[in-house]
Structure 1
């Protein structure tokens, strides 16, 4: 369906001819640069008419204010909401703005009919999540009231249309208090017409152990917020062993649990827009993967003359290559892995898709998404 996998001897001309599409459409849709080289095993999006049975989908993604204007301009037409990343806060409940101005993003989003959302994170000065900030915000009523008041002022001042809680590493003892905080904030924000969403670590059961999971109560938070976002990625991560970032078999387990605790109409599935390049052999605590974008991954395969493989269990592309005597393993996303996630959304009747993150534009993803769903626009 709308996907062609490159074989040895293929060229953009032969593929376009075999698929009955203009060469320029193939090149444009897949962002193939001159001299139009391809990797064996590369998955290409083939433009087709949209499905007649497209379901509406709430689509959003996170972006830092340092996103290039071109990337933002290309992406906004495919979004319902733009999540601006991010605002922090102090132990006293004062807001900490992003390091770069975000006014231009907010203004351009509204101009194109996309609702800008303020993303709130408990990031400390070192850039890491600080669970002590969370504890202070959810247990100290004076701090909590000041934080909610400051959020309201900032959203009014900047022209935000909603609020997103992206809290991670919440301590187990803060589980109920955090949900109560989200509930109270949602009740207040809703009175002023603001939507409130909450990002959830990817749990597969209510009793899942670990600092990332124990403070996140799916049932309580699903009831407290207007929508939830399942952060279904980072199985493969910077300091972990080489593997798919969002293997569909693991993503499925999270969704299977989530729909038992949260109404499906509130759930957005998390989708990664990046990959990783690991040097081998992997050594725990030593090896560090390099974050790459999907187009960069394909270019690496082309430059090193290696074939892109596809893991049918994870439903993710990968390959290995040698450089300066060191072997590398790369996992990333392509139209096949995205289609697997879109199919999962349809299978479970979820109503949203959220991208981490939008800093690089991967056109084939958006065209496939638009072919399979009707992207909801704000106010519809």
Structure 2
């Protein structure tokens, strides 16, 4: 699979000819809506076996081989090169496909309002092939230990048809906000806690959930040990049913990190107790903050490097956003950026006739434009380069896989590259 960045003057047909594929193949792989109006800086995936690399100044056979995880001898052989011959800058080198590795993938899906939209259900149906888990968001715990159910529609059936584990996501949310007081009640009042566990078990049996996923956030620091004790109790109980237990964790870089989003989460204890965790490695750039990459690779790496020091890498799923944000400039506290899918971001760039840039430090695409009302905007989103950087990090650290927030946002290159890099584990 080749990742190609559109250059000035290039057309879909010239790109296709350069790689020996048809324009229709590229259109299909990238779900291009306006194939004759490519944006400079836009990435597209080219459905070929292996990929090509153009030699850069300072490259050697060994540095290129290391970059792609193959031996220098193999690279020299497939390109009919002598290992002792200096490389010419600009030489096109063929990179054979690397071995796909096993990976587990989760997709959260969040119906809003009173009905599940056709588009959201179709997104679940189209992408279930790539998933190990499907996670309707969310069952909200109530203060008496009962549960407020989300809209499930046909999600259980979609999971069954695609050998996907249905994940029961349970949150301590009230009025769509995480509540430390609700968390305190559930974790410390044993009568309510037992009723809570009874209700989880009955509901899981009713719908066929096989993984119980606790997304308890904004907990009081004083409830950290109570949360650990609750997880041990839940694990013992759900294991008897043959169910998995998983948790969502805030992105920490140390065990004593301050802040109510962090102090209630004990990485080491979760790694010992639960089957796996989802670490929410996104929202550095968020809707209520200044414009920046949503999941810059440096901070993501820092969090995951700390995580693997506290728990087995095989229990860690990297959280990944399927969205970006469009900020109005200059940023003013109290304003809210608009969420956009990668496809929508490219459309905005096209409509405003601006090129897409790439921040190599953050490993994220971005651009600026002037709207019709004269206001300046800045957009950060995800593309094939940024998601491949995350896939490389998963493989480098030996992680369990990736968890997407959230389905329903169009990003076709993600799914094409997922299939190129991984064999998706099916547990159902």
Whether TM-score is above 0.5 comes out as: yes
Q: Once superposed, what is the RMSD of the aligned Cα atoms?
A: 1.3
Q: Residue 205 of structure 1 aligns with which residue?
A: 254
Partner SS for 1:360 = coil
Distance in 1 (alpha carbons) for counterparts of 2:35 and 2:314:
45
Partners of 1:20 and 1:35 in 2: CA distance: 17
Counterpart selection for 1:361 from 401, 410, 426: 410
1:133 is aligned to 2:182: yes
Q: Cα offset for 1:72?
A: 1.4
2:358 pairs, out of 310, 316, 322, with 310
Query: Aligned runs of 1:193-342 on 2, under 5 Å?
Result: 193-284=242-333, 286-323=334-371, 324-342=373-391
* Equivalent position SS for 1:277: strand
TM-score, with length taken from structure 2: 0.86
Give me the whole-angstrom Cα distance separating, in 2, the residues matched to 1:368 and 1:92: 45
Aligned residue in 2 for 1:59: 105
The runs of 4+ residues in structure 1 deviating greater than 6 Å are none
Runs of 5+ in structure 2 lacking a partner? 51-96
What corresponds to 2:127 in structure 1?
75
Report if aligned partners of 1:48, 1:371 keep a CA contact under 8 Å in 2.
Answer: no
Alignment of structure 1 residues 93-112 onto 2, 5 Å: 93-98=145-150, 100=151, 102-112=152-162
Segment drifting more, 292-301 vs 206-215:
206-215
SS in 1 for 2:186: helix
Is the radius of gyration larger for structure 1 or structure 2? 2
Q: Which runs of 5+ in 1 are unaligned?
A: none
State the distance in 2 between where 1:22 and 1:188 align.
55
Q: How far apart, CA to CA, are the structure 2 residues paired with 1:164 and 1:38?
A: 41
Greater relative contact order: 1 or 2 (C-alpha under 8 angstroms, separation 6 or more)? 1
Q: Could you report, residue by residue, the CA deviation over 1:29-50 in whole angstroms, capped at 9, with x for unpaired residues?
A: 1111135311100011111337
Shift of 1:70: 2.0
What CA deviation, in whole Å up to 9, does each residue of 1:137-194 have, x standing for no partner?
A: 1111111111111000001011112111111111111111112112211221111011
TM-score normalised by structure 1 residue count: 0.96
Residues in 2 aligned to 1:48 and 1:365: alpha-carbon distance in whole angstroms: 16
